[in-house]
Amino acid sequence: MHSDETWDDLILGGLKIIQPRSGYRFSIDSVLLAHFPDLDNDMQVFDLGTGSGVIALLLAYRHKGIHITGLEIQEQMVSRARRSVQYNKLEEQITIVQADINEITGYWPKAQADLIVCNPPFWKKGQGKISLDPEQAVARHELKVTLPAILQASAHLLKPGGRLAMVLPARRLAELFSELVPAALRPVRLRMIHPTMDREAGHFLIEAGKNTRGELVILPPLIVYDRPGVYSQEIQQLYKQSPGEERSQDG
């Protein structure tokens, strides 16, 4: 581990992850996304924009019978993800590749993935305040990849019947629905995420399928906090916390 990095406990399964002391660090959005899709034996999973590899690690914890390929364009993040995979002894289950999502067709032929997960940049280019830290800037803003490009890459990688799972701000729901159409993907599962029971949704989890049928299933809302600083029972179950145990709101 480098002097500007930290070892952080993921709580689940004794997993640990390397993150920068300052700069982009994962939040609860990644944890919620990693627990959203159903997993099955022999699944080929792609994590687009894997960052430090948190979602890949959590997916591997959830199911030992899947293989995850994590794609990341930023070299330092690739290094951290690979070292975290090695530390957790998950090299046979997780492969980290430095790759540009925009050039996905040059890396893999069509129909490779049963499942794709992606925690994309939440802000479009020109919106919000761009961080001075280059890793945070790329992770949070569409500077290197856009939502349509992610959807097109996913449509290329997915097998027929495969699914794409994402987490995005609630304000981008209508935009996502419109962008799914040219990518030939259709929404199949949707869950709104509320900070507390009495506040409006801040984010949503969604699965979109390739060559799938059936109506969109809208799941019950996911409530993150019962009160400030105290996770809801559902979130506590994810972390396997005892009731009432408090964690910081940074996740």
User: What letter represents residue 12's amino acid?
Assistant: L
For 17-63, how does the pLDDT look when each residue is reduced to its tens digit (9 = 90+)? 998 887 777 889 999 999 999 999 999 999 999 999 999 999 999 99
- Asked if residue 92 belongs to a domain, the reply is yes
Residue 210 inside a domain? The answer is: yes
Q: Which two tokens stand for residue 49?
A: 């924009």
CATH of residue 146: 3.40.50.150
pLDDT score, position 138: 67
Q: How many domains does the chain have?
A: 1
pTM of the model: 0.89
Predicted local confidence at residue 124, as pLDDT: 72
Domain-located, residue 249: no
Here the tokens at position 8 are: 């952080």
**Residue 16 is assigned to a structural domain of this protein:** no
Q: What does the pLDDT look like over 179-238, one tens digit per residue?
A: 999 999 999 999 999 999 999 999 999 999 999 888 999 999 999 999 988 999 999 988
Alpha-carbon distance of 230 to 7, in angstroms, equals 24
Buried b (16+ CB within 10 A) or exposed e, 91-123: eebbebeebebeebeebbeeebbbbbbbbbbbb
Full domain range(s) for residue 133: 28-239
Within-domain flag for 53:
yes
Specify if 127 maps to a domain. Answer: yes
